[in-house]
Structures are given as structure tokens and as C-alpha cells.
Amino acid sequence: MTFDRRSFLRTAGFASVAAAVANFTESQFALAQRPDMPRFSRDAVFINANENPLGPCDAALAAMASAVVDCGRYRDDLTVDLIHLFAEQFGLRPEYVSPYPGSSQPLTYSVWAFADKERPVVVGDPGYEAAGHTAAFAGIPSIKVPLTSTYAHDVKGMVAASPNAGLYYIASPNNPTGTVTPRADVEWLLANKPKGSIVLLDEAYIHFSDATPCLDLVAQDKDIVVLRTFSKLYGMAGARLGLVVARPDLMKKIEAIGGWTFCPVTAVQGGIAALKDTTVVAKRKQLNAAARQETFEWLTSKSFSFVPSEANHFMLDTKRPTKQVIDSMAAKKIYIGRAWPAWPTHVRITVGTRDEMARFRAAFEEVMAQPLNANIPSHTHTRTELFS
Ligand code: PLP
């Protein structure tokens, strides 16, 4: 039996939606790459999923701990506080801000809300796979457009790729490259895209970079939806908190797919405390940049190739089958990220602490000194690829 999930959703209405919409998250992608991933342990180095080894900042930790006693209540009032705080800090009206338990959900719902069989999703390549996987799951076509020579999203190529796209997905900084798509390109896309299409700008890693944020384009009522998350710089990936920022008419369409999703009381309290800490972004941006720069200098001194990044991860060219490198690193308890089919010899490395990066460097040098085994493939099938 063939099953058109979109028309099913449209006719079956709200209650059935949750059963049909699948979310894709970085942790799933990381796990799919290594189904045999060991339990987390502090004596191994996990630089495979773009997490923040620092965890929540002190203010967030204290707020989350004291929020535990409130977990018997739904405390929607705290969610309202979070909305108002974020809106006030970024010059938005509160109805333009909606929290979710992570940004993965509104990312998924945006694909369902703004694209369909006749209006494809256009993404960068290599790029974060969630939009493309969601499209495949929903029976929506998606088009991959290679990044430019400076590793930005090729906005002109993205417009040329489809005259009737429904959604353009851009992560800036990008996952996996950590490279920025300049704001001027986002503005060009908004001015030149087909009428009725939406730009989904994912600013998950914006705090690590010098990129100019684009929240004000939402405030100006442009056709843009911006995603933010507390999973990256704020170190709260396991707490689950993200925000979608959009015009109320676009927000309504996103909520029509996934509904209002309740966020854990602890995460909301932690998020409020993190936003109120005016030092955390600059402090953590600097720490990440220092560990990243130290690693880049070492890689350069050893003649290894990498793509310079403005985020907490970067692409490293192993110039050999990636599985051999990934498995050999894992044997040394250094768990690195995955490869993208478009760049079969590159692997994504998350920037850990300086100590973790020192361990990474020592192991990587040993692994690269091993003889090349040409029989090992470059890319393993992931679980998500298998069911998309
Ligand atoms: N967007 C990008 C570009 C990501 O890399 C990730 C996770 O790594 C997410 C969104 C989802 O993050 P979360 O659902 O934890 O907010």
C-alpha cells in the first residue's frame, strides 16, 4: 500500500500528526554511525556529536538543581518568562518566540510546514542532514547544492536549483564544516527566492562565531524562520531546550504540524539563568576558539588538511578511507565524528577541551602513521540513511 503522509496529515488533522512526524537529531546521526558506541565515560574522549564538554554554565547548573523541586508542576509560567526574556534581549515581540525541547523539533516541523511534493527543500552539501532526512521520510523532494569555494551556502545556486522551492535550509555556521554563510547572502536569498518560499536559518552554532545574527530579519517580518538551541555553546544538549523565532503566521504553520511541546522545567530554568549570565557567551567562545586554534596550528605544522571553522567542530581531510581512521581512533578511546558522502575522505571533529584535543592530536598522529588499508570503505551506511 502506498501511503502519502502529507495528505494523511492534512485530512486526519492534528491528533495524528505526532505519530507520523519523525525527528532527526545529531545524537541519532552520531549513534547511527557507530551502533557499537560504548557508554559515555570520562576517561574516553567523545568528540563525535558537537556537544559541549563544559556542560551547563554555573548559573544554569544552580538554577537547574533548584528547579528539581518544582518538577511536580508544569510551571508554564517559567516558559512564559523564558519567552519574554529572549524577546526582550533580541528586540522581538514575545509572539515571535516559541520554545521547544531542542531545535530539532521545529526544524523537522518546518520541513513539513513549508515544503511538499511540488515545493522541494533545498539544502547545502555537505550540510546538516535533518532537513533532507525529514523530507525523504515525508516523501518531499530535496535538492543538495554544493557549498561555495569558501564553504558558504551557495545561495545563488540554491535559487537556481529549483524555481519553486518551498524551503531553503541554511545552517550558519554550518554543520559539519563550521563555516559561515554571510548575512548579505541570506539577505540576497530573501530578496531573490521564489514567492511564498521560506528561509530556515539554523543558528545552532552562532555563539561560537563572528557571524552577524539574523534575528532582526524575523522582527522585520521577512520570510525567514530562525532556530536557536541551548545544546551547543550553553552545554545543555541533554537538558533539551531550543527556540524557534518566526512571524506569528509562520509560527502557526509550524505549530500546526507539531503542536505546542512542553519543555522540561529544569531546562527552562537553566535556559533563563544562562541567558541572564552576560559573560558566558564571550567566555566560552574564547575557550572554544583557543582549543580550536591550537589544534589548527598543530595540524598545519604536521601538514594535515582541514577546513578552517568558526564553530565547535571542523572537517579534517584524512586523505584515506574514513572508516579506517574512525575505527582506529575508537580503538584508542577517542570517538570522532562521521563522514559525509560528498566529502568521502573528511571526518568531522568536535572541538573538546584543550586536554581532550591534546589526546586527540596524539592519537591522530599515531593513526595516520598506520599503513593505508585500501579495502576499508570510506563511508558506512547509517541507520537513518537506511530508513530515509
Ligand atoms: N541544527 C544543527 C545545525 C545541529 O548541528 C543540531 C545538533 O547538532 C541541531 C540543529 C539540533 O540540536 P538540538 O535539537 O539539540 O537543539
For 86-105, give the DSSP string.
HHHHTT--GGGEEEESSSHH
Among 202, 229, 243, 312, which is best to mutate for testing ligand 1, by the most ligand atoms less than 8 A from CB? 229
2 CA to centre of ligand 1 in angstroms: 31
pLDDT at 12: 35
* pLDDT value at residue 1: 28
Closest by alpha carbon to 111, among 154, 175, 168?
Answer: 168
Closest residue by Cα to atom 6, ligand 1, is: 26
Pocket perturbation via mutation, ligand 1, pick of 46, 104, 179 by most ligand atoms within 8 A of CB: 104
Distance 237 CA to ligand 1 centre (A): 9
Q: Are 177 and 151 in contact (CB under 8 A)?
A: yes
Rounded distance between C-alpha atoms, residue 315 and residue 306, angstroms? 6
- 103 C-alpha vs ligand 1 centroid, how far in Å? 6
Ligand 1 centre distance from Cα of residue 46 (Å): 17
Residue nearest to atom 8 of ligand 1 (CA): 26
Residues with CB under 6 A from ligand 1: 25-26, 50, 102-104, 107, 128, 171, 175, 202, 204, 229, 231, 237, 242
pLDDT of residue 379: 55
Could you tell which of 25, 170, 201, 349 is best to mutate to test the pocket of ligand 1, judged by most ligand atoms within 8 Å of the CB? 25
- For the CA of 105, the closest atom of ligand 1 is 14
* pLDDT attached to residue 377: 62
Is-cis flag, bond preceding 371, omega within 30? no
Distance CA 181, CA 175 (A): 12
For ligand 1, atom 2, which residue shows the shortest CA distance? 204
Distance 138 CA to ligand 1 centre (A): 20
Separation of CA 257 from chain center: 20
Least Cα distance to 352 among 292, 296, 299 occurs for 292
CB–CB of 374/350 below 8 Å?
Answer: no
The tens place of each residue's pLDDT in the chain, 388 residues long, gives 232 333 333 333 333 444 467 778 888 888 777 777 788 888 999 999 999 999 999 999 999 999 999 999 999 999 999 999 999 999 999 999 999 999 999 999 999 999 999 999 999 999 999 999 999 999 999 999 999 999 999 999 999 999 999 999 999 999 999 999 999 999 999 999 999 999 999 999 999 999 999 999 999 999 999 999 999 999 999 999 999 999 999 999 999 998 878 899 999 999 999 999 999 999 999 999 999 999 999 999 999 999 999 999 999 999 998 999 999 999 999 999 999 999 999 999 999 999 999 999 999 999 999 887 766 666 554 544 434 3
Q: How far is the CA of 205 from the centre of ligand 1 (A)?
A: 9
Q: Which of 295, 369, 377, 309 is nearest to 339 (CA)?
A: 377
Q: Over the Cα atoms of the chain, what is R_g?
A: 21
Q: How far away, in angstroms, is 7 Cα from ligand 1 center?
A: 28
Rounded CA separation 352/349 (Å): 9
Ligand 1 center to 311 CA (angstroms): 13
